[in-house]
Structure 1
Amino acid sequence: MTATEALRGGQTDGAALAGKVAIVTGGASGLGRATALALAQAGARVVVADVDAGAGREVADLVGGAFRACDVSDLDANRALVDFAQEEYGGVDIAFLNAGVMTGCGVGEDFDLARYRRAMGANLDGVVFGTHAVLPALRARGGGAIVATASLAGLAAVPLDPLYGANKHAVVGLARSLGPALAPDNVRFNAVCPGYAESRIIDPLRGMLSEQEMPIIPAEVVADTVLRIVTGDSTGECWFVQAGREPEPFRFRTVPGPGKPAGV
């Protein structure tokens, strides 16, 4: 039984996150909604953030939390979100920086500057701005956990949407780099990298996925992976979530060291 199923059935797995406060961006649907449910079931008080106010408030009501409208591509909106969480619940311990969109254009004749800016704003700026905004609140609590939604597109080539691959690779790079960088503050930074998971972002691809008999990962599987990361002790890791496999940290190869000049 997943954490979300337990919540819906009125059960609890104990209170692993009792007293903790979590922010979930992109929390109105898909992975964000499922993760808000999982965090609440584990005892956390949840602030749901999204540009979709109607659906976001429904999720907040479902988890007994609070809702804040937030465009994550706006730095001040991220700061206001953290301020809101502190005012509502006294602090922040967990941030799931999940909001994201598909790009919808390439780099050739189909390049569209507005779509490019929108995708980079949500998928990369949203993680950078969210991290910048929440760090003081986490430090004030003695540390905490940040999980950013990347993608398998951040671990492999994505010919169908190279710009999406670019911003998701950037999120992976942030996780690997910020993990050790933030460790002295007792702040853990990790990424979750799902394959094709149940969310609005795959809506344009559903026909193709069905034709190719590609399994879609339930959002609850991703949510439970985020919960494992949050309640664990790892940092700087990128957890892949792939259909038919147990989620685990992706094992990166070490880059070759410098070679000796010829003749030495």
Structure 2
Amino acid sequence: MNNDNPTSLIAGRCTLVGAGPGDPELLTIKAVKAIQAATVLLVDDLVNDQIVQAYARPGARIVHVGKRGGCKSTPQAFIERLMITAVREGETVVRLKGGDPFIFGRGGEEVEHLREAGIECAVVNGITAGLAAVTALGVPLTHRDHAQGVVFVTGHAKTGAGAAEDPTDWRALAATAYNARLTLVIYMGVSGVSHIERELLHGLPADTPVAVIQHASLPHQKHIATTLGKLQDGIAEAGLASPAVIVVGDVLRGLAAAALPVGAEKFGT
């Protein structure tokens, strides 16, 4: 056997599975089946422990490979090597990710590395946090009267060699959102909220409605409803932190004060 040929070593299989925003009941049936079939589970920090406890098969090898902003993280290269090695050893590998693997989950990078190793990888979508967050507030991401589309954007871009200093042109994005009537859904934006707020105000009015939702879909979910001009102060006053999603746009004007959970902040207050 030629060990230099990766395809000659493949005995197992790999699936990227989206675990959704946190609530175990939001898992898809296909996700549950994949988790139950796995002999090796590589689990992200944002995956609810109840999901693994409920659906992992007895004897499955469970490896926690946390990747949280601002915290010590498992190197991405190590995770990819572990996936490839396990598949070549004949394991049924599931890479279990919070939300959806292909929305800010590095799923694209992992699929590319697996293919380079001669491994085709299946993907099971999950409900992304940006969708679950606004649904938890009872409002949509699009609305015929308020928003003709939605933009998902990260507030925490790639860092390191070759990375742009500020790869997101927030001013241009704000102008486009205003002119095209778009909802902005910002992932991983809490740590950079001062910069994001300042730049968005170049293209959006200060009274543009904003909601910040932490731990979307979970029992300890917490959120504020405020305006763009008060975004940074609102987050600080409420003590919100990651993981949280920031939603910006007029769709939030339909969020009636009477429908807000106790402790939520009214727009413009």
- TM-score normalized with structure 1 length: 0.34
Structure number with higher helix proportion: 1
- TM-score normalized with structure 2 length: 0.33
**Which of the two has higher C-alpha Rg?**
2
Structure number with higher strand proportion: 2
